[in-house]
Amino acid sequence: MNKTIGIFGGGQLGRMMAQAALPLNIQCTFFEANTDCPSAALGQVFSTKAENGLNEFIESADVFSLEFENTPLADVDVLTQSKAIHPPRQALATAQNRLLEKALFDKLDIPVAPYRAVDSLESLKQAVADLGLPIVLKTATGGYDGKGQFVLRTADQIDQAWAELGPAKSLIAESFVTFSREVSIIAVRGLDGEVKTWPLAENHHHNGILSHSIVPAPNSADLQPVAQDYITRLLNHLNYVGVLTLELFVTDKGLYANEMAPRVHNSGHWSIEGSVCSQFENHVRAVAGLPLGSTEVVRPTVMINIIGKHPKTEDVLALNGAHLHLYNKTERAGRKLGHITLMPVNQSELVLLCRQLAKILPEPLALSEDMNI
């Protein structure tokens, strides 16, 4: 198939989509402010800063997708006058606004924590009265990796929370969910409506940023069908094409939805080596109108993000079964620079690899030796 997919964004997700597209003889182009972005080696980059950049980008490809849910809707609206984009505009608009997102979850009977819309100091005080404390106050739009959030634990923090986030004007207050762990499910839907899902990933965070994911999530046999049901409801309701991610909390009352991401996701990077067909290849297949591939797991897998500083490449590659993916990004505190995929044959090998990685990674991560696969 000779087809070109245009991708809004040129970061590591676009890079890995393009890497998956090349064996299928599918080319990618990118629309990105930084023309020296991680995806630049994989296809032509059209600058968002150029006067005619958007039109040139639209002319460069047959069908379009995205790697970042904050893709401007105005750009999408120009595009869809002449070309198709997957996922659909409704999914993008919903994911860009937490209030719309929660309303959609409610509509589809997907459990969420109680929440209130907040647009003034008075409405914040009312939300505290309605929901009780603690609550998580978030901007309705924007914010990721822990940004744009304030955990409000006591009433005397109300003024501080409003001072920090109030200028955003549109906020959401959510009851604090007591959960045992965080998981995510990733699924793909084709043009013909076929849906395939990968196993749940158990996700661990460090300073608000995903540090590592374990797949399949341990002790998740009873959670998997519930999560699959929830994400399938979303996919079908939105008439979605491509990969969708649903982040969930595991509570004593069952699974609660946190948020959805209308794109390939960090917690699915393991699938490049760990699944018969990766999230990236299946996304490309769906967008291009090709049959979907198997989401079967090759072997239990652990994916670890490289954050802030690069380890020595030779040290990582010396580890048994380690797969290194670097994104061609410069070092910066809190920045995702790459990831390492481990596919241990047993629990004892996993413990050994975690010990070795703890010595190799410049940024300390919460890699526990009692981690299970």
Q: Domain with 298 in it: what CATH number? A: 3.30.470.20
Question: Residue 310, annotated ligand binder?
Answer: no
Question: Residue 144, annotated ligand binder?
Answer: yes
Question: Residue 253, annotated ligand binder?
Answer: no
Residue 372: predicted pLDDT: 62
Please name which of 196, 186, 193 lies closest in space to residue 289, comparing C-alpha atoms: 193
What are the tens digits of pLDDT across the range 108-165? 999 999 999 999 999 999 999 999 999 999 999 986 656 789 999 999 999 999 999 9
Question: Residue 147, annotated ligand binder?
Answer: yes
Residues 6+ apart with CB under 8 A from 199: 215, 216, 217, 220, 224, 297
Question: Residue 146, annotated ligand binder?
Answer: yes
Count of domains forming the chain:
3
Question: Residue 149, annotated ligand binder?
Answer: yes
In a domain, 256, yes or no: yes
Question: Residue 64, annotated ligand binder?
Answer: no
Tokens 């030796």, residue? 369
Residue 209: predicted pLDDT: 86
In a domain, 28, yes or no: yes
Pairing of strands 26-32, 3-8: parallel
Residue 208: predicted pLDDT: 79
Q: Which two tokens stand for residue 363?
A: 């940024």
Backbone angles phi, psi at 101, to 5 degrees: -65, -50
For residues 155 and 247, state if they share a domain: no
In a domain, 224, yes or no: yes
Question: Residue 296, annotated ligand binder?
Answer: no
Collect the ranges in the chain with pLDDT lower than 50: none
Alpha carbons within 13 A on the beta-carbon side of 310: 13
Per-residue CA distances from 7 to 53, 54, 193, 270, 282 (Å): 13, 12, 22, 22, 15
Q: Which of 129, 154, 175 is the last residue of a domain?
A: 175
For residues 78 and 155, state if they share a domain: no
In a domain, 95, yes or no: no
What are the tens digits of pLDDT across the range 96-109? 999 999 999 999 99
Residue 1: predicted pLDDT: 66
Q: 316: helix, coil or strand?
A: helix
Question: Residue 143, annotated ligand binder?
Answer: yes
Question: Residue 148, annotated ligand binder?
Answer: yes
| pTM (two decimals) | 0.94
Question: Residue 258, annotated ligand binder?
Answer: yes
For residues 193 and 319, state if they share a domain: yes
Host domain of residue 71:
3-85
Question: Residue 2, annotated ligand binder?
Answer: no
Question: Residue 109, annotated ligand binder?
Answer: no
Q: Which of 48, 69, 85 is the last residue of a domain?
A: 85
For residues 166 and 123, state if they share a domain: yes
For residues 199 and 317, state if they share a domain: yes
For residues 213 and 266, state if they share a domain: yes
> Which residue type sits at 234?
L
Residue 321: predicted pLDDT: 85
Question: Residue 90, annotated ligand binder?
Answer: no
For residues 190 and 170, state if they share a domain: no
In a domain, 96, yes or no: no
Question: Residue 249, annotated ligand binder?
Answer: no
Sign of the C-alpha dihedral, residues 358, 360, 365, 367? negative
For residues 242 and 310, state if they share a domain: yes
In a domain, 166, yes or no: yes
For residues 165 and 229, state if they share a domain: no
For residues 165 and 198, state if they share a domain: no
Residue 310: predicted pLDDT: 95
